[in-house]
Structure 1
Amino acid sequence: MNATEERLRDALKTVGDTIGPEDMPEPRFAAGRRRARRIAPAVVAVAACAAVVAGGAVVGGAFSSGGKVRPLTSMSASPSTAPTTSVTVFLCTKASPNASCLHEKATEPQKRALRQALEALPGVSGVEYESDGQAYERFKRRFPDSELFRRSAEVGDVPDSFRVVVGTRAEAAFVQKSVLGSPGVDTVIVEGR
């Protein structure tokens, strides 16, 4: 080793001896994990919503309303014109990942305005409201044996929603486009049978 290399080695050793763990910046990959922990509840809430919607479709489209369970097709006048498509409009919660929700729950005036707007849309044959409490109870019934799911969600994590019954996928797409971005609306999902 030449003299320059020896001086460089000594200088680095001296600096190395004066730096402690508290002087080192946190690695970037660790910061990402912390952010992931903050995002995880929102992801769980979205997964819970999707599971509840899928569960409702699998069970046959029965959604509770005021303690009674009635199939969505009962909103139709006759079986030959029974609706074949539904739209679920999920409302904002404090945990909503949608930036337009501003981490606030949908207000009662927003819910009333949204219901009126939905009922006025062409092709809509029924609108049914499901509170976050009703959605949470349905979520618990849907996953009775999954301790992980039940521990990961609380009342309020599964959002309020409107179930909208339409006849065709084109009408469902129109409903989706009409209400997406409205105040209090988090997500709109079109379901076909």
Structure 2
Amino acid sequence: MNSPMEDRLREALAEAGATVDTSTLQPLHGARRSRFRVDLRLVAVAAVVVLVGVAGAVGLGGRGDVDRAVAVSPDQRIDKGEMIVFLCSKTLPKEEACQGRDVTAEETKAVGALVRQLPEVESVTFIDQASAYENFRRDFVHNKALLDGVGAVDLPASFRLTIREGADRNQVSRALHGVAGIQNVGDLSSAMVADMEGVRSEIRAFLCAKGASQSSCGGVRVLDREGKLKRITKEGEAATNAEKNALRKLIDSLPDIESFTFRDRATAYEDFQKRFADNEALVKATKVTDMPEFFVLTMKPKANWSETVSKLKRQPGVATVTNGACAADKSLLPARYGLILPDSKVCPGGT
């Protein structure tokens, strides 16, 4: 059986998906060595999880002092940033738009002329594969696994577009859909960058909730052949107050933690409603009780992330632990470089 939250979210995402102009959706794909398809519904769910994690908080600030953290509402941000037009490369899967061929010089010239004419575009920069690889090595200098596993040939050439403030980004996608030589279009808004960079120095310990599927919470689940959740055969139990208190004491004792906060459901839900105000179906399908409770740990420079994550995972009442640096890399890699790679390639061992 699926949890009530999963059922409601599936229905809401299906309803929301029915209103989407599919001609504007252009999934990102990996290089030949990593043939992965993207289910845009899963991307939406992932966005929900990430954004809930950035929600406002009731803080146990410093090393545990109570205070109130103030979250920045999305409507207070300037949604200005980059859209990136990834060009065809022969290293991309043959069954996709590019059919296993490189973009031609004529197509590159035509795409460049087109994007420069779009009224939503403020400036355009062409990035060849060599330059993309140089930028890639700079952006992921902290991630040896990525540096070792990705070469210049894996990164498509691209046009990076600076979008004017307040411009309709969907209109840009529509204008570029189906144009010869274009593999896909990535959207890297300022809000997304701020969110991802904001969690890069954090570890998040999510608490067990009633009905959880994780075995650490007492849940039993059946996975399909691809390792994805198929159904829950036994629902888990929520973390007890004693387990929460024990976890807080453990966190307070760990030497690599600079500070931590506790995020409650109420403020997470309030922020969730603001962030998805334009998705009525999803907001209606989600309740306060669906929001997770979790601790956010800000790590000290040169901290031992692996050891901290390992200790938290073993603690009773903890459903899962996320590494902010890995989460940020996995989110920025497709949007900035057109690659989608498995967790084992981005952050082997979760470190």
Structure 1 length-normalised TM? 0.61
Counterpart of 2:5, as a letter, is P
- Structure-1 separation of matches of 2:314 and 2:294: 15
**Cα contact 1:91–1:105 (8 A) shared by 2:** yes
Q: Show the counterpart of 2:29.
A: none
Q: Show the counterpart of 1:189.
A: 322
Task: Give 1:117 deviation, angstroms.
Answer: 0.4
Q: Show the counterpart of 2:244.
A: 111
Q: Show the counterpart of 1:175.
A: 308
Task: Give 1:158 deviation, angstroms.
Answer: 1.3
Q: Show the counterpart of 1:9.
A: none
Q: Classify 1:172/1:62 alpha carbon distance in 2 versus 1 (closer, same or farther; 3 Å).
A: farther
Stretches of structure 2 lacking an aligned partner (at least 5 in a row): 11-44, 60-66, 73-198, 219-235, 329-351
Aligned length: 140
Residue correspondence of structure 1 range 1-193 to structure 2 within 5 A = 35=1, 38=2, 41-42=5-6, 44=9, 47=46, 48-53=48-53, 56=54, 63-65=57-59, 66-69=67-70, 85-102=201-218, 103-168=236-301, 171-192=304-325
- Report the secondary structure of 1:182's partner residue: coil
- Report the secondary structure of 2:288's partner residue: coil
- Structure-2 separation of matches of 1:62 and 1:167: 22
Moved more, 151-160 or 107-116: 151-160
In percent, how many aligned pairs have the same letter?
A: 26
Runs of 4+ in 1 over 6 A off after TM superposition: none
- Report the secondary structure of 2:50's partner residue: helix
- Report the secondary structure of 2:271's partner residue: helix
- Report the secondary structure of 1:114's partner residue: helix
Task: Give 1:64 deviation, angstroms.
Answer: 4.8
> CA offsets per residue over residues 116-165 of structure 1, 9 Å max, x none?
10111121011111112222222222212111321232112111100001
CA-based RMSD of the aligned residues comes to: 3.0
